[in-house]
């Protein structure tokens, strides 16, 4: 299995499927690169080189004690792009991965980037503050941390069986397999890493990062997202990013990489096709 080594010695696992236009995908919390398997299979079969890594502390990457913050995640992503020497990249970030992508763009610019897709993503800024009055109250994230410390195995069950895939909505039908896969991936993450990542995705302000984006950007968000509310995430990001295209999935939950995998794959492939510079 391929790994790349960070400046502090952390080993970051990544998948590298297919050939063609490079598409780099960053996953959500507390998941890993396996969560992108449906989209990677489609894109790699249609002329893309798909790279997806396990964020430090998640999946098969090193469970470091330190560095569980967005700046370090972005630095790790930059090292991966530099190591593989990828150019004209389509960067795709889901949920927390959208924050990682945004912070990368804020710190490193778009010299290697041809386009950006934010999917159910946490930017511009989730936490409710005096200058972000429409954000999510901090008590919600305090509860999440308390549940993780008390019994994170059950927390991941509750998230998968409830708001993450919208399985708590009337008429919803999310397979046991999809919910078990969420739990399996979550339990692969380090306890401290997953715990500190809650602050990383909820309390990091990405507004200046979004202001720096100068490449075509696609924002995809479900309007029944119970994890990153549409108005806090996709709607606000699309309003902030210059020239962004907003695609709203009516009635869709947070975990659209699984619940709407066919539509999401088709939308991402169409976006990649619009940005291709080669055959």
Active-site annotation, residues: 95, 225, 254
Beta strand segments in the chain, E: 3-5, 11-17, 21-26, 48-53, 89-94, 113-119, 217-222, 245-249
How many other CB atoms are there within 10 angstroms of residue 19's CB atom?
Answer: 11
Residue 70 class from Cβ within 10 Å (0-12 exposed, 13-18 middle, 19+ buried)? buried
Angle 96-108/191-203 helices, nearest 10 degrees? 70
Cα 41 to chain centroid, rounded: 17
Beta bridge partners of 25: 52, 92
| CA-based nearest residue to 55, from 74, 37, 39 | 74
Residue 263 CB burial class (10 angstroms; 0-12, 13-18, ≥19)? middle
| CA–CA gap between residue 174 and residue 259 (Å, rounded) | 7
3-state secondary structure of 279: coil
Q: How far apart are the first and last CA of the chain?
A: 29
């Amino acid at each position: 299995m391929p790994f790349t080594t960070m400046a502090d010695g952390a080993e970051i696992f990544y998948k590298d499927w297919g050939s063609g236009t490079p598409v780099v995908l960053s996953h959500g919390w507390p998941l890993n690169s396996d969560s992108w398997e449906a989209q990677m299979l489609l894109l790699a079969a249609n002329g893309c080189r798909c790279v997806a890594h396990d964020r430090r502390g998640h999946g098969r990457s090193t469970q470091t004690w330190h560095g569980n913050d967005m700046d370090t995640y972005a630095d790790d992503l930059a090292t991966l792009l530099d190591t593989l020497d990828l150019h004209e990249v389509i960067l795709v970030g889901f949920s927390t991965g959208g924050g990682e992508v945004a912070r990368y763009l804020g710190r490193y610019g778009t010299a290697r980037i041809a386009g950006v897709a934010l999917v159910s993503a946490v930017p511009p800024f989730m936490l409710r503050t005096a200058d972000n009055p429409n954000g999510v109250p901090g008590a919600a994230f305090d509860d999440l941390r308390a549940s993780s410390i008390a019994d994170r195995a059950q927390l991941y069950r509750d998230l998968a069986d409830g708001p993450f895939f919208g399985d708590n909505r009337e008429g919803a039908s999310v397979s046991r397999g999809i919910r078990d896969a969420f739990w399996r991936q979550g339990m692969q993450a380090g306890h401290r890493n997953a715990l500190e990542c809650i602050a990383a995705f909820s309390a990091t302000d990405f507004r200046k990062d979004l202001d720096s984006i100068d490449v075509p950007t696609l924002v995809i968000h479900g309007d029944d997202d119970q994890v990153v509310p549409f108005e806090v995430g996709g709607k606000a990001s699309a309003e902030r990013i210059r020239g962004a295209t907003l695609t709203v999935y009516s009635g869709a939950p947070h975990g659209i990489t699984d619940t709407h995998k066919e539509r999401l794959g088709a939308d991402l492939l169409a976006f990649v096709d619009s940005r291709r510079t080669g055959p």
